[in-house]
Amino acid sequence: MDFEEREQQRRRQMIKVIIAEVGMVISIIAIVVVATLAAMGFFVTSSGRIEQSGLVQIHSAPTGATVEIDGNTIFSRTNLSRSLTPGEHSLKLSRDGYDTWQKNIKMSSGMLLRLYYPRLFLLNRKPEVALQIEKELEFYLPSNDQTYILYAASDSVVWNLINIRDDEPKVTQLDLTTVLPGVVENKFLGKVESLRWNNSDSVLAKIAYENKSEWILINLKDLKQSLNLTRTFGLEFTQVEMIDDAAARLYALENQQLRRINISDQSISRVLLHNISSFANSKTNVAYVMTQTTENQEAKKIIGTYRDGENGGTTLVSADGDATAVVALTRYYDEDYLAYAINDELNVYYGALPSYREQAQDTDFSGLKVLIDKTKLQTVPNSFSLSPEGEYIVASHGQQFTVVDLEMGDLVEYEAMTSNLAWLDRAMMTAVVNEGLWVWDFDYTNQREIARYITEGSDVKNDPITTISKAKIANYPAVIADNNRWIYYLTESKTGLALMRERIRD
């Protein structure tokens, strides 16, 4: 073989090596790309199209629940994550000794669905008496963080604070003789018109007596630090809302004028906004309904927003003066969520509230994005409320409820069994209906009766039958303690009220 032939052979071998190496590199790149796309949830459909699956994260209380998706049992138990193809899927959670939870969900391509709220209740629970209390109550209210229950008997100046954080409830009695207005001869002759927790340290109370009302911020840890807002500032407030968790600052509405109160130095600001009919706030941000009269003497209502420290509000939309207008404002995952309804039309926006500009146009939605746009509701809502952690906005009118899920942007309307609903936890509602305690998820699914009136002969722990016989569930809010082990509720009988509890998990 001469030199030229050897050179040609070496070139052919080199070309083969290069082709092989290039093929290997392409194969590796292809494998990495395919693996990456698969990890991102992409798959090839039966028709040959490439689609991306969604991801569902399922947490439950308690954990360790078996998960069935579309009738197929998943090897892993809660808490878990699972990729799902776009479309509708059925979920079912179960655990030995517990009831079941199930729901139909709809997945979209690339969607992340967080189901952090499913709750399973222990079966064969036995009610037990946690505390015997008075026959008639002035109020009864669990705290937002599910660690305390505050109640007082009618006419009493002593309020009772029940600590339900541990397995054994502890009661602290608070003498509010020098705090409450309307106390005569050691009796409270007024009425608690409203009561709201900020955290476990204080409550904001509206007390009515002698045809007038006074607002009091009551410090439950140190009653001497309580402050009568009405008397301190000499103003008749129609609405007061807390700004921060410590209740150190508040917004107050007086004679349709919005002001800010600083508790630490007991100061009140200049008028921030005029002609305000009602408002809602999320920390320092405010959404409001304003009533104005035009040059033609025609009344109109304005929905607007205000950011603390700015020189005025920002108009979002206006309506006829006789329209019903309500607003809600919350913060979820570092974004503001604004909801307003004008008559039966609901709108929900999210993002950053617009800043005040003197030369602004008539309406300014800059920084806001549409979540729900001009949706007609089955009825005209007259109020908004929020879930404990602010991820659900509820519009209500009587027994008709509309719930907006901010996580998914979904809206569900339903007629509940009663208008007297309360939040049991972050996503579950509760009500007393026909002497039974009912619970359901925010969207009216997973309805369950978890407690019933107690008849004579029932097996009740820690109490003689003479006290509990023929007791029924009292129409007060139930609460699940923050340790997730106990549910507390009230029963009433001819002998009085009792705070009952049942263990709901092992």
User: How distant, in Å, are the alpha carbons of 13, 19, 29, 32, 50 from that of 26?
Assistant: 20, 10, 5, 10, 21
* Whether the bond into 381 is cis, omega within 30 of 0: no
Euclidean distance between CA atoms 300 and 305, whole angstroms: 16
Q: What is the pLDDT of residue 469?
A: 56
Is residue 12 classed as helix, strand or coil in its secondary structure? helix
Euclidean distance between CA atoms 107 and 129, whole angstroms: 45
Is residue 19 classed as helix, strand or coil in its secondary structure? helix
Euclidean distance between CA atoms 318 and 34, whole angstroms: 53
Q: What is the pLDDT of residue 367?
A: 84
Q: Which two tokens stand for residue 299?
A: 């009344």
Q: What is the pLDDT of residue 466?
A: 43
Q: What is the pLDDT of residue 456?
A: 46
How far from the centroid of its chain's Cα atoms is residue 480's Cα?
15
Q: Which two tokens stand for residue 366?
A: 């800059």
Euclidean distance between CA atoms 61 and 505, whole angstroms: 8
Q: Which two tokens stand for residue 329?
A: 């404002």
CATH pick for 50-115 out of 3.30.450, 2.30.30, 2.60.40, 1.10.3470 = 2.60.40
Euclidean distance between CA atoms 318 and 392, whole angstroms: 25
Largest CA-CA distance found in the chain, in angstroms, rounded: 126
Q: What is the pLDDT of residue 120?
A: 97
Euclidean distance between CA atoms 500 and 502, whole angstroms: 7
241 and 197 in contact (C-beta within 8 Å)? no
SS3 content of the chain, % helix, strand, coil (to 5): 10, 50, 40
Q: Which two tokens stand for residue 184?
A: 């005569």
The residues, ordered by sequence, that sit 6+ positions from 168 with a Cβ below 8 Å of its Cβ are none
Euclidean distance between CA atoms 117 and 357, whole angstroms: 41
For Cα atoms 179, 181, 187, give the angle at the middle one, nearest 5 degrees: 90
Euclidean distance between CA atoms 172 and 168, whole angstroms: 13
Domain ranges of the chain: 3-39, 50-115, 275-415
The continuous run of DSSP H or E covering 8 comes out as: helix 3-39
Give the DSSP per-residue string, 52-101: E-EEEEE--BSS--EEEETTEEEEEESSEEEEE-SEEEEEEEE-TTB--E
362 and 339 in contact (C-beta within 8 Å)? no
Q: What is the pLDDT of residue 78?
A: 94
Q: What is the pLDDT of residue 458?
A: 54
- β-sheet with 137-142: strand ranges across: 137-142, 148-153, 158-163, 170-175
Token look-up 């911020």 returns: 217
> Mean pLDDT for each consecutive 10-residue tract of the chain (506 residues)?
64 70 70 52 54 89 96 93 93 97 92 94 93 90 94 96 94 96 94 91 95 96 96 97 93 98 96 97 96 82 94 92 96 94 97 81 78 96 95 97 94 95 94 94 96 63 52 93 95 89 94
Q: What is the pLDDT of residue 298?
A: 84
Query: How close are the terminal C-alpha atoms of the chain, in Å?
Result: 87
Q: Which two tokens stand for residue 505?
A: 């998990």
User: How distant, in Å, are the alpha carbons of 60, 98, 385 from that of 101?
Assistant: 10, 10, 26
Residue 432: which of 476, 492, 377 has the closest Cα?
Answer: 476
Q: What is the pLDDT of residue 48?
A: 55
Is residue 187 classed as helix, strand or coil in its secondary structure? strand
| The pairing of beta strand 237-242 with beta strand 249-254 | antiparallel
Specify the DSSP class assigned to residue 15: H
261, β-bridge pairs:
250, 268
